[in-house]
Structure 1
Amino acid sequence: MNTEASEKLRARAARHAALADPTRLRIVDLLTLGDFSPTELQDELGMSSNLLSHHLRALEEAGLATRHRSEADKRRSYLRLAAGALEGLVPGVEHSAGSVLFVCTRNSARSQLAAALWRQVSDIPSASAGTHPADRIARGAIETARRHGLDLPDRPPSGLDLPALEDGLVVTVCDNAHEELAGRGDVHWSVPDPLRLGTAQAFDAAFEDLAQRISGLVPRVLAKY
């Protein structure tokens, strides 16, 4: 890990540590709404001035809050949320990719749904493939896509082109494919195979799992041109 990345990680850790206390988390919640004087915070939280001072000092040292003097009464100060205080509390961009390839074993359900879901929310091209492709897309996947208003292209499952593993971001969406590729993928999602049960509920559960994971991954992937 380079020095810059290490420093950013330490800064994130310090902010997480400061927010691990319920009182300090409550103070930050209040500061997202506006500025408060220590006296106002003391009244809001119902605590002694000494204890409040301890919490405010911890927030300031972690870079979460700043204070400034009142223009009206110079004896009063106001706390505000520091600029960018909440940035980096969740993971940031981790990948740049010219394309995204979703891989499962049969390329008949999970990887097909994942690629179609990705196309709804990102301009980065997506495709899907299977390590051992089936003859056709599973009927349950087609019906699930229809129920959720998802455009699932009517094309036969595709085999995995091994050189494609080097070209873009590879996301395995089943354990069999992940283990067969022996870690050659970039990201792995252990999504249960809906074909095992074959019910509408199983396919819907896979769809919702993939949709949630994709919504979390999209902000962390930048297009590479």
Structure 2
Amino acid sequence: MNAEPVRPPAEAPTTELERADDGAAEPDATEQETAAPEPAQQELAAREQAAREQAAEPSERETAEPVPPEPSKTAEASPAESVPTQNLPRDPARASDVLVHRALPLIRSGELGLAEATLDRAWELDPRNPQAMAGYAALYVAAKDGDRALKWAKKAVRRRSRRPQYHVLYGDALQLQGDVTGARKAWTRALSLDPGNREAKARLADTSAQAAK
């Protein structure tokens, strides 16, 4: 008795769901990684985009109008820079005398700062110049600085004791110190050296009138 050949089992019919599963390819690993960025990557990308936008826009400092600098408070020339040193003699002693004579009108006009700077320059050129000493005395008499006026008037009188104008200045300095008696002696000395000295006469007359009141 012959055995019947064994037939292979019939394949089960494929359902629609199975066919759909067979036809859909599994996603690649790299596609899974890049399919959707992680939250950290999204934040980093957002920051980079913001940085690029900020760099593209001009900053407020760049677009603001330039502010002009404020004028310097020291823009004005100082007295030392305004000293009248033009056309001075080459000889320092003579140049010193010229500067003293230029300072005297400044004292009379009340420009004491410029006068002092001019006398300072004269003194630098010749520190033994009696005219510069008398110039300082006149300057400080005008400034009502009795101590300095007396100091410089003494120097001038000691340097040139026979110049009546120096004795007048010496008397003026003593008067500022309140020494009217000493002042009158100095003016009297000036008048003895120069009987026609108007300044000495006027000062003696004024103090005599004040004493008589």
- TM-score class, shorter-chain normalisation, is under 0.3
Q: Which of the pair is proportionally richer in helix?
A: 2
Q: What TM-score do you get using the length of structure 1 for normalisation?
A: 0.17
Bigger Rg, structure 1 or 2: 2
Q: Looking at secondary structure, tell me which structure has more strand per residue.
A: 1
- Larger relative contact order, structure 1 or 2 (CA cutoff 8 Å, min sep 6): 1
